[in-house]
Amino acid sequence: MKIRYLFLLILFCYNSFAQKQTLFTDKEYQSILNKSKAENKPIALMFYASWCVHCNKMKNEVFTNSEVIDFYNTNFLCIAINVESEEGILLKKHFENKFRVKSYPTFSFLDGEENILNCISGELKKEDFIAEGKNALLPENQFNSLYLLFNKDTSNVYNCIKYIIAIRKAGLDATEIAKRYLKNMPENEWFTENTWKIMSNGINRLDAYEINFINTHKEEFAKVASPSRVEKKLIYVANENLKPLVDLNDTINYYKLKPIAESFKIRKIDSLLFKFDLQLYETNKNWKLYKSTAKKSVEKFAWKDSNTLVDICTVYLESIKEKTALIDAVIWSKQALALGESLDKYILTSKLYLKLNDKKNALEYAQTGKESALKYGWKTNDIDTLLLKIKKT
């Protein structure tokens, strides 16, 4: 009986261990590339980040599936690359003209000559992950075949759409491909469902002529797509082009492109521009413009947005000294509280009052915050420290 129990325990432990094994493990890329050339077997290359929830979920739930393991081990040499490792950084740079790693996980399928067969990013279920692998093995669906088919007849709408989708899945810009197709027809024939597919998927430069054409012909395109799809396209292009410039603090190119986005006259874009402007002013410590922009547009674009209100008030607390500006921040902080209680908001409001030398209100909001913390079971360490500071002031 004891022997049988021991056997079952060992079997359970073995199965538990086996389930933890992953299909994509960290290996040295060059050795896998050499093996791919020698065996004439394609590579399935995964770029991941250790902190990525989607990457870890696939490792635990998809890569341990027997069907996935069998398919990928049979057809590919699988390798995982940590994007934050030295090799990961170098490989991202090495492949940037062939595909871009913009989100995690990103999978690239390539042959021994580093020709890209297929690319996909994001978390995939078992069936979809196998389907993408099968797609990479079909010559007619591989990048080079799609490229040749499109170039053979740039007026073929279906070949153009397939090529654009492949390019977009690789994280690359397909604007020039779409432009080449559109040259085959006069502009008054652009208002078709297929042409909209090409423009909406392919044209992704904010300063492209075709984007201005979409903006000035919203109604016509809405008839073949829908008003919401046309608007979403313009919002997407504005965000995709401007956000990287803001993150890089590239003010020259940002202010070149911003008027194009403003010309769309779409509230969601105006709201984006408001946040982008504030981010740039904060980065460059241009507090004069930060204050004037916030005062002018907070109620218009952030009055129902608690997170943005808190972010702006935090900047005021840390970097703004003028009394009138701090009074504005108190009003915004109270509005954030009205949208939903949190201890951080009580602390923020109390600290703003304290910065205004208004000890009475600072104490009132700190005490109310403490009461709420006790009521909801929040930790009171920070509010206790603040109360002590106010009483000592």
Give the Cβ contact number of residue 149 at 10 Å. Answer: 16
User: How is domain 2-137 classified at the architecture level of CATH?
Assistant: 3-Layer(aba) Sandwich (3.40)
Supply angle C-alpha 66, 23, 171, rounded to 5: 115
Q: At what angle do helices 209-216 and 175-182 cross, to 10 degrees?
A: 70
Residues near 290 by beta carbon (within 8 Å), at least 6 away in sequence: 278, 281, 282, 315, 320
Supply angle C-alpha 42, 43, 48, rounded to 5: 160
Task: Give the pLDDT of residue 11.
Answer: 42
The tens digit of pLDDT for each residue in 265-312 reads 999 999 999 999 999 999 999 999 999 999 999 999 999 999 999 999
Among candidate residues 211, 236, 209, the one with its CA nearest the CA of residue 221: 211
Residues near 322 by beta carbon (within 8 Å), at least 6 away in sequence: 291
Please, what sign has the CA dihedral across residues 155, 226, 221, 174? negative
Query: Does residue 92 register a pLDDT over 80?
Result: yes
Among candidate residues 155, 158, 300, 272, the one with its CA nearest the CA of residue 206: 272
Task: Give the pLDDT of residue 268.
Answer: 97
The tens digit of pLDDT for each residue in 40-78 reads 999 999 999 999 999 999 999 999 999 999 999 999 999
The tens digit of pLDDT for each residue in 150-187 reads 999 999 999 999 999 999 999 999 999 999 999 999 99
Q: CA-to-CA distance for 347 and 339, rounded, in angstroms? A: 16
List, in sequence order, every residue forming a beta bridge with 46; answer none if it has no partner. Answer: 80, 107
Supply angle C-alpha 99, 102, 106, rounded to 5: 70
What DSSP element (H or E) covers 47?
A: strand 43-48
Supply angle C-alpha 63, 77, 107, rounded to 5: 60
What are the structural domain ranges in the chain?
Answer: 2-137, 285-393
Query: Does residue 115 register a pLDDT over 50?
Result: yes
Tokens of 276: 């982008």
Give the percent of the chain with pLDDT over 70.
94
The tens digit of pLDDT for each residue in 203-245 reads 999 999 999 999 999 999 999 999 999 999 999 999 999 999 9
Q: CA-to-CA distance for 283 and 254, rounded, in angstroms? A: 14
How does the average pLDDT of the chain come out, rounded? 93
pTM: 0.85
Task: Give the pLDDT of residue 22.
Answer: 66
Give the Cβ contact number of residue 217 at 10 Å. Answer: 14
- Tell me which of 1.25.40.10, 1.10.1040.10, 2.40.110.10, 3.30.70.20 is the CATH number of domain 285-393: 1.25.40.10
DSSP 162-196: HHHHHHHHTT---HHHHHHHHTTS-GGG--SHHHH
